[in-house]
Structure 1
Amino acid sequence: MSASDGVAARAVDVWKEYGSGDAAVTALAGVSVELERSRFTAIMGPSGSGKSTLMHCLAGLDDVTRGEVWVGDTKVTGLRDKGLTELRRDKVGFIFQQFNLLPTLTAEENITLPLAIGGKKVDQAWFDVVVDTVGLRDRLSHRPTQLSGGQQQRVACARALVSRPDVVFADEPTGNLDSQSGAEVLGFLQRSAREFGQTIVMVTHDPNAASYADRVIFLKDGHIVRELLSPSADEVLETMKHLDSVQVAGSQVVQHSGSSRV
């Protein structure tokens, strides 16, 4: 796999099973998907569909039962602890529902923490672009307790992007935010893909949040069953309502609007 092929991450016939024998649970059942560079992709599905499991496997946070996962030119499958640590530090950014900021550090120190841990210098020009885009210029000296929830999540977003990772994975990033703060964060993620070429992959249950994405992938029972390109919130909601009617037994079924890379 070459980084020049336009794919930031991919899963190839990925299975994830928990337990064994009669107690075994299949969370992912032969999922194959390519995530294109410089695009904002949302992953949706009902509870238990496998959406969070897929993101965790793609990000190297969980191993797969069989199949392959790649991030850029790195084959994630089979990496040992050191390789996984380097992957998460150098190639992947994370934004979680909980902001995960260190309370003793300022906003600026929280943003640059991944670079400090990796012994890397801050690219000041890129740092300035990120900080100004998220509107944190006048908050850099503040600690998390001095920031609103929306501001804290924007610090987390800036932290995820400052190292220019291959992919930023966002797990329900607006789950703890009010609608205005959530819209600001989603707008930033959208701009990050469209203006700065960042690859964003977001798990969400919110149709409005998914409507900010360029592409929405829907899972059911561990299968990718549908995708939409540049959808409205109403289209996402309507698709979610009709997922129960999609049959997935025996094979992965994909229904989509527009072109697809699945």
Structure 2
Amino acid sequence: MVEHRRFGNLLPHLVLLAGVAIVAFPVYLAIIASTHDNTVIANGQMPLYPGSRGLETYWNTIVSGTGRTTRQAVGVMMFNSLIMAIGIAIGKIAISIISAYAIVFFAFPFRMTAFWTIFITLMLPVEVRIFPTYKITSDLHVLDSYSGLILPLIASATATLLFRQFFMTVPKELVEASKIDGAGPIRFFWDTLLPLSMTNIAALFVILFIYGWNQYLWPLLITTRDDMQTIVIGIKKIIDVRDALTEWQVAMATAVLAMLPPVAVVVLMQRLFVKGLIETEK
């Protein structure tokens, strides 16, 4: 029997609160900085309470942008990042679940060779194959497009491995029952495997959405038009100025806005995300 001691859990709670404070304090500073004038931030005199320029800063950042650093409104950048993140997440999940289904439930020659070939690509991230990938993207004339942002990144050996391991735990009785009911491969996949995989899909969607949202190198290479830039590139361009004073209030507002979609996805899908990571029963 576990005894409930009044002060026995004090230390763990203090450590937890300290960890939350360490993580949350920079976010709090970014929010506070986005509400003050740029001169206050640049002079190092920024107080720890909100200023009066918050609504104006966020409105100008989202709708009109700034003429000196970001020639495109941050709202457009957020939309580009959202399309890219959703496209990468859905593409990776769709290709991976179909690949895992074929590897587990179909007996074809060199099945394991195909799986290990996919698995080996874990050692070849985008940074390693960046030049040939860029060459192919350029030859297909999909630079400065959503297709160019999404398609080269939708293959995922990790997701294929996770779905394969999950499908291998599916009882064979389900397969036999589907055959007895006259269900073909597509119906078995759609009516049986997909409902069983929903928690895994949700967990992978959260991870892959954040992966796509945080992409920097690939969008930086293939986007030259301002209206196709993602918000991560926008933050870099706001800060990286040479002859002008960095607009810190705009940079902080953009950073806060960049955090909102991933946080919203994690919060809204938290239960399915945790369930998909820990659930073992089918």
Higher strand share: 1
TM-score, length of structure 2 as denominator length: 0.21
TM-score, length of structure 1 as denominator length: 0.23
Higher relative contact order (CA 8 A, sep 6+): 2
Specify the structure having the higher radius of gyration (Cα). 2
